[in-house]
Structure 1
Amino acid sequence: MSDTDARSPSLRPTRQRRAITDALAAAADFQSAQEIHDSVRQGGDKVGLATVYRTLQAMADAGDVDVRHNPAGEATYRRCSSSHHHHLVCRSCGRTVEITGSAVERWAHAIADEHGFSEVSHTVELVGLCAECAARAARA
């Protein structure tokens, strides 16, 4: 399956879904439904905003995109790797880095064990300033 195809076999590869998937693949960081809609329309595809929202929700439900909420509470979407990972997000510009590592996993399991929990899942998002935003803040 190519990067521009929906990962989930249950999601039919419609023209609209391909356009939305292409827009997500072209974006480096998390994008709102409105930003994805704008990108799709700028690419020449006619897709309604409601279709973008429904498609993004279906892709999120299928595990084809990650969803995070920006500081204003708006859902944003990004195609990420299919393996378990976390995000490091710049609180200023929104730049996002996918991180993997066993330290978080070990910590989560140790805390769960300490309190007698099992079958624990987790979501970790680290928020800070990227190098460019930190330099810009230092100059201000």
Structure 2
Amino acid sequence: MLVIETERWLELLEEKGGRITGPRKAIVELMVKADHALSPVDVFDQARSKYPKMGLVTVYRTLEILSELGLVERVHQQDGCHMYLRAANGHEHLLICSRCGKAAYFSGDDLSVLIDRISSESGFVIQSHWLQLQGICQKCQPKKFQTPIE
């Protein structure tokens, strides 16, 4: 499955006008299989193990193209920096662990009532929304905060 998805991403990247180089392929492979948000420096460090001469600019440019294609999305951090994560299928919202970067998607169909109220109160016509919640995943939580599974 990951091989097929990687090939599809590379085809889309090439259609967008991007050359498929070894470093770009390594970046795509990392992003396809990532289960947590990665900073450009994280991607750079991991991909350089395969391509030591890769430049950080290549990572930034490739992530930007993948973002434009809707294959990855930016994850906003409290410090103002961005991390990147494989985009969700359909309309889902993002939950990010603030310690390890693990990501989970959730649907938010019940947000329509809130959006309608905000639109009514503000006079805005809401065209789109983006929701990202941050918290601490179960693995990163201290044991005393974890609830046992019965």
Aligned to 1:59: 66
- C-alpha displacement of 1:34: 0.9
Q: Alignment partner of 2:71: what SS?
A: coil
Q: How many residues align?
A: 138
Aligned to 2:4: 2
- C-alpha displacement of 1:26: 2.4
Alpha-carbon distance in structure 1 between the residues aligned to 2:77 and 2:123 = 33
- C-alpha displacement of 1:93: 2.2
Match of 1:129 among 125, 130, 136: 136
Alpha-carbon distance in structure 1 between the residues aligned to 2:68 and 2:144 = 38
Aligned to 2:91: 84
Alpha-carbon distance in structure 2 between the residues aligned to 1:52 and 1:76 = 12
- Deviation >6 Å, runs of 4+: none
1:94-113 alignment, distance < 5 Å: 94-113=101-120
Alpha-carbon distance in structure 2 between the residues aligned to 1:115 and 1:72 = 28
1:75/1:137 CA distance change after superposition, 3 Å: farther
Aligned to 1:47: 54
- The answer on whether the counterparts of 1:112 and 1:120 sit within 8 Å (CA) in structure 2 is no
Q: Which runs of 5+ in 2 are unaligned?
A: 146-150
When the two chains are superposed, the root-mean-square deviation of aligned CA atoms in Å is: 2.5
Alpha-carbon distance in structure 2 between the residues aligned to 1:11 and 1:95 = 31
* CA distances 1:72-105 after superposition (whole Å, capped 9, x unpaired): 3221111122422211112222221111230124
Q: Which runs of 5+ in 1 are unaligned?
A: none
Alpha-carbon distance in structure 1 between the residues aligned to 2:74 and 2:117 = 26
Q: TM-score normalised to the size of structure 1?
A: 0.81
Percent identical among aligned pairs is 29
The one-letter amino acid paired with 1:90 is C
- The answer on whether the counterparts of 1:86 and 1:99 sit within 8 Å (CA) in structure 2 is yes
- The answer on whether the counterparts of 2:115 and 2:126 sit within 8 Å (CA) in structure 1 is no
- The answer on whether the counterparts of 1:64 and 1:82 sit within 8 Å (CA) in structure 2 is no
- The answer on whether the counterparts of 2:38 and 2:101 sit within 8 Å (CA) in structure 1 is no
1:14 aligns to 2:20 (yes or no):
yes
Q: Alignment partner of 1:31: what SS?
A: coil
